[in-house]
Amino acid sequence: MDTKKIVSYGVFFAALIIVPFIFNSNWTSVFTTFLIYSAVALSQDIVLGRAGMFDMGHAIFFGLGAYSTAILNMVYGWPILATIPVAIILPVIASILLAAPIIHLRGDYLLVTTIGFNIVFIQALKNNVFGITGGPNGIFGVEPLKLFGFSFSSQTSIYFLAFFVLILTLIIIHNLETSKPGRALHYLNEDSLASECIGINTRFYRLYAFGLSAAVAGLAGVVFTLQFSAVSPDAFDFIQSVLFFTIVLVGGPSSIPGVLLGTFFMFVVPEMFRQFAEARYLVFGIAMILIMIFRPKGIWPVKFGKIPNYITKE
């Protein structure tokens, strides 16, 4: 990491730390949502931006994490801390089981199949499968997280919990960028056939990307449950997946600042324009079209250091 990067991350983290002290609890809750959705968007970026697979069902893994915590806590009476490992591992298993048979599908087919998974997931939740998902209303009254006698029940404490999850996500992504699997995913994205020829096990790394991103999304799901102390199917609908998909592409695939900026535009800016609540999605739609026309690679596209231009060109 160069100095410029360290300084900008320092400023970014410092700004996030003071948020709960200068804003009221409503805005703190908006920023908590921003932190949670940033983690999910960054995890979506592992599959979409870094591995180059069109996954439009990412809300499944987010939802599985959230629902695991809520169900284990409310139905089986587990303490929240004990549910966290399950809320991470279950989405990983689900992502690998779901992705394995369809991983070879080409772009658009993968996109539609993952939407299909998401719709099946939501229908299962709404139909109260196994009688534990709470049907269309979801589950209410999840306990707060207790750690060493401290109860994470105030908005500020949940904010810092979400902040911790985002930092964890950033560390995971930083490690991924500088590690062998990260490079493998990058080559896979550039040219899957060529990467197979140089001995990269494409199937393994594709599933690896799905599994890792599901783990991060599952963890973010836990914080989501804690923030609202409730889960409901609508929060994990395929429209949400479409939103995460859009955030990554509008912000800039495989670019951390881009994805954070995308999340900011999609979740925090709408809150600022509450008075125009009715028209804001219309404006967003227009903004999405315009951004894609003027910056087809996203607002803050990733720049690859020393790779010559003729390689990175489409």
Partner 1 sequence: MDIFLQQLVNGLTIGSIYALVALGYTMVYGVLKLINFAHGDLVALSAYIGLVIMMQLAGALSPVLLIITTFIATMIIIATAGVILERTAYRPLRKAPRLSAVVSALGASLVIENGIMLIWGPMPRIFPASAVPNANYNIGNVYISLMQVLVLIISFVLMVALYFFVNRTKLGTAMRACAIDQDAARLMGIDVNRVIVTTFVIGSALGAVGGLFIGMYYRGIHFNMGWIYGLNAFVAAIIGGIGNIPGAMLGGILLGIFNAFISGYLSSSWALALTYVLLIVIMIIRPTGILGERVAEKV
The strand pair at 145-147 and 150-152 is best described as antiparallel
Q: Which of 1, 18, 22, 293 binds partner 1 (CB under 8 A)?
A: 293
Of the candidate residues 137, 289, 307, 312, the single one contacting partner 1 (CB under 8 A): 289
In the bound complex, what is the minimum distance in angstroms from residue 113's beta carbon to partner 1?
Answer: 5
Residues 33-92 touching partner 1, rule: CB under 8 A, are 54
**Which amino acid is present at 288?**
M
Among 148, 278, 309, 311, binds partner 1 (CB under 8 A): 278
- Give which of 152, 146, 155 is closest to 81, Cα–Cα: 146
Q: Applying CB under 8 A, which of residues 76, 296, 304, 312 lies at the interface with partner 1?
A: 296
Sole residue written with tokens 């908006």: 30
Part of the chain binding partner 1 (CB under 8 A), chosen from 5-13, 98-106, 170-178, 265-273 = 98-106
- Beta 150-152 vs 230-231: how paired, if at all? unpaired
The one among 8, 25, 26, 127 contacting partner 1 by CB under 8 A: 127
User: What is residue 143's DSSP assignment?
Assistant: P
Measured CA to CA, the distance from residue 296 to residue 19 in angstroms comes to 32
Q: Please report whether residue 108 would count as binding partner 1 according to CB under 8 A.
A: yes
Determine, following the binding rule CB under 8 A, whether residue 277 of this chain makes contact with partner 1. no
Structure tokens at 195: 């990467």
Q: Which of these segments, 63-71, 81-89, 109-117, 225-233, binds partner 1 (CB under 8 A)?
A: 109-117
Determine if 106 is a binding residue for partner 1 (CB under 8 A): yes
When binding is defined by CB under 8 A, the residue of 50, 58, 126, 206 that contacts partner 1 is 126
The answer to whether the CB of 249 falls within 8 A of the CB of 259 is no
Q: Does 284 bind partner 1 (CB under 8 A)?
A: yes
Minimum CB–partner distance for residue 222 and partner 1 (Å): 26
Alpha helices in 201-304 (DSSP H): 202-228, 238-251, 256-263, 269-272, 280-294
Look at residue 153 and give its three-state secondary structure. Answer: coil
List the structure tokens of 273: 């324009």
Q: Please choose, from the candidates 228, 223, 258, 263, the residue with its C-alpha nearest in 3D space to the C-alpha of residue 243.
A: 263
Where does this chain bind partner 1 (CB under 8 A)?
54, 101-102, 104-109, 111-113, 115-117, 119-120, 123-124, 126-127, 193, 239, 242, 245-246, 249-250, 253, 278-279, 281-282, 284-289, 291-293, 296-297, 314
